[in-house]
Structure 1
């Protein structure tokens, strides 16, 4: 595996891996919705996705910010944190 991803930063690889996992969860949910062919079950699956999506987003952002925190000023870190909060608030309501 080191041969394939040797030149890729391990943090970037972790973040990308989480995004691939998220996409597989989304694809699986779509397949489940099609297989069940029931609106109520599809709504339940969709509500679970509403939890998984932001959770993956927060984890991915946390990993990335943790790695660059030493290179950023406190003001920039606060702005990034505020931006994440605003994104989550905008998606929620």
Structure 2
């Protein structure tokens, strides 16, 4: 308590009459309730908050043409990363995306 209110405030409260103590505690409680109401007024109600919407990231994948030096494994991994970034979740769309990148 001393760390929160300070030693002088606690000594003053201890030296006060019981009626003064009640009055000070009630004044502090009123002040605290006012602060809480103010902070709650600043917060956006949950009903008004919009849900977070993930925006897909569009990545360009070079088409796989089977040329010398091209690695099919790396190309498949690159397509998979692009699908994850673009939030492509259904198998049908994943296949369509992969096929669209075959040269």
- Bin of the TM-score, shorter chain as denominator length: 0.3 to 0.5
Structure with the greater alpha carbon radius of gyration: 2
Give the number of the structure whose residues are more often helix, by fraction. 1
